[in-house]
Structure 1
Amino acid sequence: MSKNKASRSNVKALKGASSEHAYRALMQEIVSFTLVPGEDLDEATLVARFGVSRTPVREALVRLAAEGLVQLVPNRGARVAPMGWNDIREHLEAFDVSQRLVTRWAAIRRTDEQVAKMDIERKAFETAFRQDDSVAMLDANFRFHAVIGAACRNSLLQRFYIQQLTADLRIARLAMTSECFPTERSYRSHVGQIVREHRELVEAIRERDGDRAEELARSHADLARKRVSESLTQTMTPAMEIRLGDQAADV
């Protein structure tokens, strides 16, 4: 390889690393509500904060917009995606459908290696639960379902499902962590059901039982929907732009 080609490759690698850095940092701030729904994202400010050029920041914003965490507004730049009742309702509806299909196909098409990876992430979730590490639980849950997404062996559906899982991280922070529950007992009961369903999902996929896998995926999505509905009626914030009335009736 010539020096010029090597130099261009190095520059490209550095830009890619900068974009990934900006993406990861922004995603964490959005899903943790350090950046609140509807907040403007000024490119110049982000460039200064992350110590990168404008191009990596723009690439990160475009990627986050594709995942539903950022809105790109014509002539206004970017802002953190809002979280109104309707936004959450539409997400949960779409998530229910995609999760059932992805899980059914995963049961039919999975490899033994993918089943082993699911079991690793299932155990990681349970370990994080025992250690009372809510953030690690959310991360392990994401990886667990991401492996199922890969096992469906349809790249278009997998990409859509991963986008939904990413958007779901923000909703999960509002409803699934221990501080979101009224009592410790209710929290442990809810997570206990998740643990049971994770184990049964792995077993159904291992047995290539598509019907059972889809049934469990439906139950899993319904469990999340009910928990989100309960949590949002108890802990609504102005930043979420949730109003009672017609919008609430749609949930």
Structure 2
Amino acid sequence: MPRVKKGAEAAGEKAVQKITKGGSSEFAYRALRDAIVSLALEPGSDLEEAVIVAKLGLSRTPVREALVRLAGEGLVQLLPNRGARVAPMGWNDIREHLEAFDVAQRLVTRWAAIRREDSQIEVVKRECDAFKRAAGHRLADEMLDLNWNFHAAIAQCCNNRVVADFYLQLLTGNLRISRLAMTYKAYSSEEAYLAHVGNILREHDEMVEAIERSDPDRAEELARSHANLARKRVSETLIQSLTEKMEVNLGGKREVVF
């Protein structure tokens, strides 16, 4: 697994320190969620309740409520007699997540084309345009968040709260995976970066068109292609990260250093 670069934890602390003292569990939830999905808090790292309480200037109750809420979203694990930790992201975790995401995204996008209302498709269009603007300025963090907004708007078009909530949980998990693989520095060249972003923009536009035309088959096909595009990018990045950790001894045997 690629490790988060040094300094990320400090960035997370700054985000946490911005929360006004005397806040509530919602403040704690937002601060912790932002730090987790931005990878400022590394996958698998311990979440010490006393440290969080001190940084937020809150009592233990709202912090505990926030941790329970994050556990329900799959971002935190609550361990008996051991406290809490950020949910890990091992190879199997990522594989299983992406498989589930593929299925959920196809269903949500298909149903959106069947069930959407006119007012809902207008929201999807606005979010699509917002993502384009961020992409044009290469605002990586904003692109990830706006991509979430775009697909969340599509989820609302499926008009099934249970299905939409399940999909949004997976979509939130994707924020962590995307930050491992989708940053500009993770690409081999500027051309590779621009080509990938271009594919995303094209598929976003085509999804909007398919949903607006009420074409469920085309919408699902595009959702599958979109999930495959993301999965391919994640796989390439993880393989590159693993290769960079390999050392070759004089006997010709490759040793992987984790």
Superposition TM-score tier, normalisation by shorter sequence: 0.7 to 0.9
Q: 1:108 aligns with which of 81, 98, 114?
A: 114
Correspondence list, 1:189-208, <5 A: 189-208=195-214
* Matching residue of 2:92: 86
Partners of 1:139 and 1:234 lie apart in 2 by: 25
Question: Which 5+ residue runs of structure 1 have no aligned equivalent?
Answer: 1-15, 238-243, 246-251
How big is the shift at 1:236? 4.8
Q: Output one character per residue of 1:172-230: Cα deviation in whole Å (capped at 9) or x when no partner.
A: 00111211111111011001000000000000000010000000000000001110000
Aligned identity (percent) is 64
Q: Which has the higher contact order (CA 8 A, sep 6+)?
A: 1
User: Which structure's residues are more often helix, by fraction?
Assistant: 1
Runs of 4+ in 1 over 3 A off after TM superposition: none
Q: Is the 8 A contact 2:23 2:58 kept in 1?
A: no
Deviates more, 1:135-144 or 1:50-59: 50-59
Partners of 1:62 and 1:182 lie apart in 2 by: 39
- Corresponding position: 1:229 with 2:232: no
- Corresponding position: 1:140 with 2:146: yes
Partners of 2:123 and 2:52 lie apart in 1 by: 36
Q: Output one character per residue of 1:1-21: Cα deviation in whole Å (capped at 9) or x when no partner.
A: xxxxxxxxxxxxxxx961121
Partners of 2:158 and 2:144 lie apart in 1 by: 22
Q: What TM-score do the two structures reach when normalised by structure 1? A: 0.86
How big is the shift at 1:37? 1.2
Aligned residues: 225
The code of the aligned residue for 1:56 comes to P
Correspondence list, 1:25-64, <5 A: 25-64=31-70
Question: Which 5+ residue runs of structure 2 have no aligned equivalent?
Answer: 1-21, 244-253
Note the aligned Cα RMSD (angstroms). Answer: 1.9
Correspondence list, 1:70-81, <5 A: 70-81=76-87
How big is the shift at 1:72? 0.8
Partners of 1:24 and 1:71 lie apart in 2 by: 17
The code of the aligned residue for 2:69 comes to R
The code of the aligned residue for 1:189 comes to A
Partners of 1:17 and 1:109 lie apart in 2 by: 39
Correspondence list, 1:99-178, <5 A: 99-178=105-184
